[in-house]
Amino acid sequence: MLRSCAARLNSLRGLRGLRGGFVGSSFPLKNIIHENHSLPKPCWSKGMRLLFDQMMKKCEDGSWICFPSHTYGSTKMSQDFSAFIRDYFPTASKAINKEKLSQARLFCGSFEDGLGFEYAMFYNDAEERIVCLFEGGPYLQGVPGFLHGGAIATMVDQTVGMSAILAGGVVMTANLNINFKRPVPLCSVVVINSQLEKIEGRKIFTSCNIKSVDEKTLFTEATGLFIKLEPEKNI
Amino acid sequence: MLRSCAARLNSLRGLRGLRGGFVGSSFPLKNIIHENHSLPKPCWSKGMRLLFDQMMKKCEDGSWICFPSHTYGSTKMSQDFSAFIRDYFPTASKAINKEKLSQARLFCGSFEDGLGFEYAMFYNDAEERIVCLFEGGPYLQGVPGFLHGGAIATMVDQTVGMSAILAGGVVMTANLNINFKRPVPLCSVVVINSQLEKIEGRKIFTSCNIKSVDEKTLFTEATGLFIKLEPEKNI
């Protein structure tokens, strides 16, 4: 779907090699990490914190960067992004319930700490790859003891969407094709690997898989197609 | 994903023509509707209530039935269903964090009234069709003013999953293929139409679309493939 990436894009100004970015100016990589006050979170399990620390080690040589996953908000950038989208979809925009907009929260961040989507994303620019550590909380249950398929789809969209944003700036999800191989245990830690596959014109092709921490269990495979939005072009 | 359908299946005992149902005994259709205390909900918009009333009118001749959408719980049936799933996936089941299970809530019902997934499902047995009225609350936001793609995917899974359950009993989502055509405005009411397409052995093929109430705007199209789980058969 449309990517609520304003704050993320804002935080990614400093990414080296950012293609088609939505923002112009940049600031040093260390500032991105320094701004990441929200991670790691006290509610995380030991396993999640351990993995996070391992990934942060990889960030030390600059090959990987960690970016904030819970810092979405109604920033100036967010408003600009929203206006951009509304230009594309004027009819849909008219149907927005403005009265309720003041209550709005980003879906992935709308649960209290530890109950919903707990995750941290890391990006490797040279490999065009994202690793997302994900611990799905108890409010994401499908069948008792396992994550709901919609919660998994949400994290797929969130992760491959980030790959697309890094490649294309302002993008919209056009297609998600998700193969559910095995159920994901509730409150377990899994690793989502997202890869930029190719870019053809305004189409951005991505893929991802979700595996256990030891990589022995493949839970999910998916592909995502995104369309780059450009001013004054209809989709 | 795995369908947390225990309570739903329990409520659907009386469905005429239920194929491969998980439960044996039956009770009259009127009891299913009578048990549906939770709908309509005070938090719903006027538009949602109006549509609900229109669909309830269609239920009067028995061609459609309404079934509860927010009555999932840890019933005996739910426990049985869970045990059934764990037999299929013993490794994944071992990874369930039992300590946190007591906090678990079904994903679609884990928000306070009016903030998350508000929906009502209706089933037409003769047409093998489900109509789901859906009002996505302010906590499901993606880009400002619009629903997150993951929230849409969740309702797709929930609705085509119900079609599959009605056709096959205990099922697991194997694939969701979702085309996002247009963004869905936050807090608007949309209609999800789900259709049973075909059954080939243990494979159940479904499709759905999401449209505006006036049917003029197509927001989403999707297909869902489900696998019927049978005791002592591996998938």
pLDDT, tens only, A64-109? 999 765 444 445 445 555 666 667 677 666 666 667 778 899 999 8
Highest-confidence segment of A183-187, B5-9, B85-89, B99-103:
A183-187
Which of residues A24 and B11 earns the better pLDDT score? B11
Does position A193 have pLDDT exceeding 60, yes or no? yes
Does position A132 have pLDDT exceeding 80, yes or no? yes
* A73: contact with B, CB 8 A cutoff: no
**Residues 6+ positions from A78 with CB-CB distance below 8 Å:** A4, A6, A7, A72, B144
Check residue A80 and give its pLDDT: 55
What is the token pair recorded at B119?
Answer: 């929906």
* B235: contact with A, CB 8 A cutoff: no
- A53 carries an active-site annotation: no
Residues of B involved in catalysis = 157
B85 found inside a domain: no
B132 found inside a domain: yes
Check residue A203 and give its pLDDT: 97
Check residue B89 and give its pLDDT: 73
pLDDT band at B28 (very low <50, low <70, confident <90, very high): very low
Please compute the mean of the pLDDT values over residues A157-176 and round it to a whole number.
92
| Of A80, A87, A125, A157, catalytic | A157
- The string of pLDDT tens digits covering residues A137-151 is 999 998 888 999 999
- The string of pLDDT tens digits covering residues B118-177 is 999 999 999 999 999 999 999 999 888 899 999 999 999 999 999 998 998 888 899 999
What is the token pair recorded at B73?
Answer: 């719980």
Contact in structure between B228 and B168 (CB atoms under 8 Å): yes
Check residue A46 and give its pLDDT: 95
A91 found inside a domain: no
Structural domain boundaries, residue A184: 2-71+106-228
The whole-angstrom distance between A135's CA and the closest CA on chain B is 11
Other Cβ atoms closer than 10 A to A91: 11
The β-bridge partners of A123 are A65, A130
Q: How many CB pairs under 8 A join A and B?
A: 280
Which of residues A91 and A7 earns the better pLDDT score? A91
A208 found inside a domain: yes
* Residue A144 with chain B: CB contacts under 8 Å: 4, 6, 74, 78-79, 81-82, 101, 104
Chain-chain contact of A150 with B157 (C-beta, under 8 angstroms): yes
pTM recorded for the entire structure: 0.84
Count of the separate structural domains present in chain B: 1
Chain-chain contact of A176 with B180 (C-beta, under 8 angstroms): yes
DSSP B108: G
Q: Which of B144, B141, B138, B149 is nearest to A81 (CA)?
A: B144
* Residue B91 with chain A: CB contacts under 8 Å: 217
- The string of pLDDT tens digits covering residues B44-90 is 999 999 999 999 999 999 999 997 654 444 454 455 556 666 676 77
Does position A6 have pLDDT exceeding 70, yes or no? no
A113 found inside a domain: yes
SS3 B28: coil
Q: HSE on the CB side for B74, CA within 13 Å?
A: 8
* Residue B5 with chain A: CB contacts under 8 Å: 143
pLDDT band at B16 (very low <50, low <70, confident <90, very high): very low
- CA–CA gap between residue B157 and residue B12 (Å, rounded): 18
Check residue A192 and give its pLDDT: 98
Check residue B95 and give its pLDDT: 66
What is the token pair recorded at B216?
Answer: 């003029």
B185 found inside a domain: yes
Contact in structure between A172 and A233 (CB atoms under 8 Å): no
Which residue in chain A is spatially nearest to B185 when comparing CA positions? A96
B51 found inside a domain: yes
A47 found inside a domain: yes
Which residue in chain B is spatially nearest to A180 when comparing CA positions? B174
Please compute the mean of the pLDDT values over residues A124-145 and round it to a whole number.
94
| CATH number of the domain that residue B174 is part of | 3.10.129.10
Contact in structure between B158 and A150 (CB atoms under 8 Å): yes
